[in-house]
Amino acid sequence: MYFTSNTVAFLDGEFVPAEQAACGVYAQSLHYGYAVFEGIRSYNTPNGAQIFKAEEHYERLHYSCKSVGLPLEYSVEELTRISYEVLDRNNLTDAYIRPLVYAATPNMSLKVATTSNVLIAVWEWGKYLGDQLLRLSVSPYQRPNPKAVPIEAKVSGHYVNSIIASSEAKGRGYDEALLLDMNGYVAEGPGANFFFERNGELFTAPAGSILRGITRNTIIDLAREAGITVHEQFFTPDELRTASAAFMTGTAAEVIGVASVDDVTFDTPFQQTIGGMLASHYHALVTGQTATRAASFAKQQ
């Protein structure tokens, strides 16, 4: 699914067959989850393949590296240019792009790495959480304590929390988990941010215990441009009883409606909610159909 015998990946300065891109079992990253990554999408637009918000994603990759002391030798511009080349070499326009910065050196010490490795892989990927409205359940797992780890960085090891939370919710028959922060406020999903609607306004968790999603920021901008008030504030799962609708956002998931959170259901058809409207605005934006906002795309180098 991620690669075939024809797939090309970028690895440490070279374009190589994806099948040959490998990492040894003594790598520090494998033992300690000490790596950072990004999830980016490219869309087929009237101007060809355009990577949505490449600059923001690669700036976040740099921020993530800095947060955990992983060196990153490539600039935002170089990473963007390489990403376009990987897309091109794989004849892909609508694709998911996965950059990974890791420490392949055999090293069992708990010291920051002095060198790093860079993989940029691409593949075709449908909406990560599908197209159906999601039945969420509040997870017994909290988001990691932001005083224990740099939670705003996209660190591989953080995703153990996401894997166990998501699997636990699915094991109980739900589509996805909704995680609370250490104080009992709603934070986000395992791989997407969460919004709810009340009286024509939007609410989402503030920075602190969440990954500040680039899609989240885009949706906040689109909502405010449409004159909708957006509150970034703490709320408990109980407050969702006063909500009329909810949705999740993420690069891989895009914008996806929520049918219910445990026993609280949202009955308005998604298309008639603010989230539904923003989902179509988002689609028009990323596929380059909203000419006035075309500046959001990083220019192809």
Residues recognised as catalytic: 154
Alpha helices in the chain (DSSP H): 28-32, 54-68, 76-89, 159-171, 214-225, 274-286
Rounded CA gap, 293 and 289, in Å? 9
Euclidean distance between the first and the last CA atom of the chain, given in angstroms as a whole number: 29
Q: Which two tokens stand for residue 138?
A: 């509040």
Q: Which CB sits closer to ligand PMP, 103 or 214?
A: 214
Q: Which CB sits closer to ligand PMP, 170 or 241?
A: 170
* Binding flag, residue 216, ligand PMP (CB under 6 A): yes
Dihedral angle of Cα 287, 292, 298, 301, to the nearest 10 degrees:
100
* Binding flag, residue 80, ligand PMP (CB under 6 A): no
Rounded CA gap, 216 and 250, in Å? 7
> Strand 176-180 and strand 134-138: pairing?
parallel
Report in angstroms how near the CB of residue 63 gets to ligand PMP at its nearest: 12
Q: Which amino acid is at 187?
A: A
* Binding flag, residue 39, ligand PMP (CB under 6 A): yes
Residue nearest to ligand PMP (CB): 213
Q: Which CB sits closer to ligand PMP, 131 or 267?
A: 131
Q: Which CB sits closer to ligand PMP, 16 or 252?
A: 252
User: Phi/psi zone of residue 165: left (φ > 0), alpha (ψ -120 to 50 degrees), beta?
Assistant: alpha
SS3 279: helix
Contact range with ligand PMP by CB under 6 A, out of 28-36, 163-171, 214-222, 286-294: 214-222
* Binding flag, residue 188, ligand PMP (CB under 6 A): yes
Q: Number of residues in contact with ligand PMP, rule: CB under 6 A?
A: 13
Contact range with ligand PMP by CB under 6 A, out of 11-19, 43-51, 191-199, 264-272: 191-199
Residue ranges in 217-256 that form contacts with ligand PMP under rule CB under 6 A:
249-251
Other Cβ atoms closer than 10 A to 93? 15
User: Phi/psi zone of residue 107: left (φ > 0), alpha (ψ -120 to 50 degrees), beta?
Assistant: beta
* Binding flag, residue 213, ligand PMP (CB under 6 A): yes
Report in angstroms how near the CB of residue 196 gets to ligand PMP at its nearest: 16
* Binding flag, residue 211, ligand PMP (CB under 6 A): yes
For 132, residues 6+ apart whose C-beta sits below 8 A from its C-beta are 175
* Binding flag, residue 215, ligand PMP (CB under 6 A): yes
Contact range with ligand PMP by CB under 6 A, out of 13-21, 75-83, 189-197, 279-287: 189-197
**Which whole-number Å values give the CA distances from 218 to 250, 278, 296, in the listed order?**
10, 10, 9
Q: Binder to ligand PMP among 92, 192, 223, 279 (CB under 6 A)?
A: 192
Contact range with ligand PMP by CB under 6 A, out of 26-34, 211-219, 228-236, 282-290: 211-219
* Residues at the interface with ligand PMP (CB under 6 A): 39, 188, 191-193, 211, 213-216, 249-251
